[in-house]
A and B are shown apart, each in its own frame.
Chain A
Amino acid sequence: MSEREWPLYEVFVRGKRGLNHVHVGSLHAADDDMAVRHARDVYTRRNEGVSIWVVRSDAITASSPDEKDPLFAPSGDKVYRHPTFYTIPDDVPHM
């Protein structure tokens, strides 16, 4: 018998107030509510979270996985965006 598989969801957990939600893994569920419940049981058995997001994996749009992706090229040659680009004498305080 071939059952239709429940859709895959990606799970994001906020560890505590003040932190971002972080991707922790995925799971299968019949619908969104069940995905939240399953996420609680699978990923937060020891107070690992105060908030859970779930989103269907097929709803995620991702950049190409290649590291040399031209998508990231614009930031590659802009060293002046980093504070270390600027030389300030050591005796100037609080900088």
Chain B
Amino acid sequence: MTTSDATGMESRELQEQFDAIIARNDRIEPRDWMPEGYRKTLVRQVAQHAHSEIIGMQPEGNWITRAPSLRRKAILLAKVQDEAGHGLYLYSACETLGASRGELTQKLLDGTQKYSSIFNYPTLSYADVGTIGWLVDGAAICNQVPLCRTSFGPYGRAMIRICKEESFHQRQGYELLMTMMRGTDEQRAMVQESVDRFWWPALMMFGPPDAESPNTAQSMAWGIKRNTNDDLRQRFVDMTVPQAEALGVTLPDPDLRWNDERGAHDFGQPDWDDFMQVVKGNGPCNAQRIAHRRKAHDDGAWVREAATAFAARTSEVAG
């Protein structure tokens, strides 16, 4: 037997072991052998997820200094701080796959890795803080709850921590909107206007329709994804409709109605051409988000350097 036969057999055995773990719904852990495609898909997905949490601080961070009360300010600060935490949990999970933090940061800054398009829309009023909590965090929860059972251990564990915190995000948003709906006509109009702007982008958060999502089948076979984009979008719409009714707002979709036969809501499709434009970098805030992130990174350089120098000095003194 030649050496290449031996490695061929060995890698077949490794692949079989991997497949068996996936088949019995067990978790893959960082030091397990895994197919290169599995590793790459995960690095891309977890990195994109981490970047989304980090960039996701900006639309709401925009309003922290102008919060209408100390109570709202404390809530918003805590929420934005959580998103930073979510980014860090996910970077930590991504690093167990062999990616380095510096490299991930660089790829966000130079645009080679993406983040969720939802954060490329502006926040024009304080009602947007409520709408983002209700619809954007709501959609994120829909996406993330099934990911708690994803096949890669560290990713699933990060999702469990995140999901525990997301419920506060959604509830504070909904409560904010309820408060505004009990206010003046002008405040109610602000809420409706905000919901009109965020409804379609929120639906886009689940990604393109299944027919145009070529990687979904492989991701599901690997147990990375647990549901298709369209499944999750449907689930989100069905959950949200009664919440909108209770709030007293109209979801801006003339095709939205209950379908008795399907036991689910029919609804219209977002403008996918517009979605692709935003993904390609032409959304209203793409340039601003990255410029802001770059500036924050550059402005923090001296802090990182000083801490490194201090650590080197103290370990020298300690000898």
Is there an interface contact between B85 and A45, defined as CB atoms closer than 8 Å?
Answer: yes
Partner of B95, one of A26, A45, A62: A26
For residue A24, which residues in chain B have a CB less than 8 angstroms away from its CB? 161
**Nearest residue, chain B, Cβ from A28:** B101
Q: Is B184 in the interface zone, CB < 8 Å from A? A: no
The answer to whether the Cβ of A3 comes within 8 Å of any Cβ in the partner chain is: yes
Question: Is B301 a contact of A3 with CB atoms below 8 Å?
Answer: yes
**Please, what's the 1-or-0 string for A35-55, where 1 marks a CB less than 8 Å from any CB in chain B?**
000000110011000000000
A27/B314 in contact, CB under 8 A: no
- CB contacts between A and B, total, < 8 Å: 57
Q: A3-B102, A27-B92, A62-B31 are in contact. Are A45 and B82 (CB under 8 A)?
A: yes
Range of interface residues on A (Cβ < 8 Å): 20 to 34
Q: Which among B51-59, B274-282, B303-311 touches the partner chain? A: B303-311
Contact B311 A31 (CB under 8 A): yes
Q: Does B2 contact A (CB under 8 A)?
A: no
Q: Is the CB of B308 within 8 A of A6?
A: yes
List residues of B (246-292) whose CB comes within 8 Å of A's CBs: none
Alpha-carbon gap, A32 to B78, bound state (A): 26
Given contacts A5-B101, A25-B158, A42-B85, contact A31 B92 (CB under 8 A): no
Residues on B with beta carbons closer than 8 Å to the beta carbon of A2 = 102
A residues less than 8 Å from B102 (CB atoms): 2-3, 5
Q: What would be 10 A-B contacts, judged by CB atoms less than 8 Å apart?
A: A3-B308, A4-B308, A6-B304, A8-B95, A25-B93, A26-B96, A31-B314, A34-B307, A42-B85, A62-B31
Closest 5 CB pairs of A and B: A65-B31, A30-B307, A31-B311, A30-B311, A26-B92
Since A3-B305, A42-B88 are in contact, a sample of 16 more A-B pairs with Cβ atoms closer than 8 Å, ordered by chain A residue number, is: A1-B301, A3-B301, A4-B308, A6-B304, A6-B308, A8-B95, A25-B154, A25-B157, A30-B307, A31-B311, A41-B85, A42-B85, A65-B29, A65-B30, A65-B31, A65-B32
